[in-house]
Amino acid sequence: MTQALPPYEVGRLAGAVLDSVGSVVVGKRDSLELVLAGILAGGHVLLEDMPGLGKTLTARSFAQALGLDFRRLQFTPDLLPADVTGSFLYDQRKGDFAFRAGPVFTNMLLADEINRTPPKTQSALLEAMQEKQVSVEGVTYRLDPPFHVIATANPIEYEGTYPLPEAQLDRFLLRVSFGYPTAEEEWSVLQRRMARRQEEATLTPVVDARTLQMMQAALESVAVEDSIGRYIVALASATREHGAVLVGSSPRGSLALLLLARARAAMAGRDYVVPEDVKDVAIPALAHRITLRPEMWLRQVNPSFVVQEVLTAVPAPASGALPTYARHD
């Protein structure tokens, strides 16, 4: 079992990682915190936004700051599943077939523009994302931990994109959008580019893969009192009962809220979750798990709006009680 760091140390290291990544990705601290929370929670992150807003740069920067082995896979319409997982090739010297590992065998995989490839290839990532393994020609290969997928996607209305299957969307712990920078932030991007006198920005690792695993292990000691646990369940349940929703969040959405809320608490140096931790991650954790009724798109209602309404409608608990699973008679 991996040794866990104390929460205050997780908070200190998380702040250092965010400062490092923030030196390259300008003015997106809130979004970067969500991405790091997803990584600390052991999940996969979907970055969805218009081209040119720093999605690829964010993934590369986190890999460098976290000291992880990093591979980038550009998803294109002609990409095959074997290009993701790997395949068996004939070795003439040995007279036998040998497995050639694909780019999925890494610590952090950047699935760039994942919705530019057909669903069959998108689904090749499903087993790796959920089971941390891949099966090729009946042989199963385990992926070394830590393993995270950071996928970038252009909005579905953008030309040349395919919708992600619901099953795959559900495997992403959260979906994050960056949005356009302000004029001052955009000017800062230009200034930093001129100052470093080269195109690529290289970051010095703040932690390594083992330390990241110790940070992740710390989340198991973050307490969640019963009222907050029931609040999480109530939020997910409310998405299923909302009038604009055809399919609401599954129980996996509740688990995502729990994991991300714990990560937010640890990033703040706390060993307990408060309702604000849940609220901060509710939209990124739940919005992509909701399917709206067709007529809602005509009214320009989006899933984030639904989750915001749910947050307003469901009363948040007060904190204080010891969780039942932590009580000792």
**pLDDT, averaged in runs of 10, over the chain (329 residues):** 86 96 89 96 91 86 95 90 87 82 93 85 84 86 93 72 78 90 87 81 92 95 93 94 86 95 95 94 94 80 90 85 52
- Domain match, 82 and 100 both: yes
Q: Answer with the one of 173, 190, 220 that is the final residue of a domain.
A: 220
**For residue 329, what pLDDT is reported?**
45
3-state secondary structure of 174: strand
- Domain match, 148 and 248 both: no
Structural domain boundaries, residue 288: 222-315
Instruction: Give bridge partners of residue 109 from the DSSP assignment.
Output: 71, 149
Both structure tokens of 57: 């740069």
pTM: 0.90
- Domain match, 195 and 296 both: no
- Domain match, 110 and 258 both: no
Both structure tokens of 30: 């809130």
- Domain match, 202 and 231 both: no
CATH number where 128 lies: 3.40.50.300
- Domain match, 56 and 175 both: yes
- Please give the torsion angle defined by the CA atoms of residues 162, 168, 171 and 173, in that order, rounded to the nearest 10 degrees: 10
Q: Answer with the one of 193, 220, 247 that is the final residue of a domain.
A: 220
**For residue 319, what pLDDT is reported?**
67
24 and 201 in contact (C-beta within 8 Å)? Answer: yes
Q: How many domains does the chain have?
A: 2
3-state secondary structure of 223: strand
197, exposed or middle or buried, with CB in 10 Å at 0-12, 13-18, 19+? exposed
Which residues have a Cβ under 8 Å from the Cβ of 278 and sit 6 or more positions away? 228, 231, 232, 235, 257, 261, 316
Phi-psi region of 94 (alpha: psi -120 to 50; beta: other; left: phi over 0): alpha
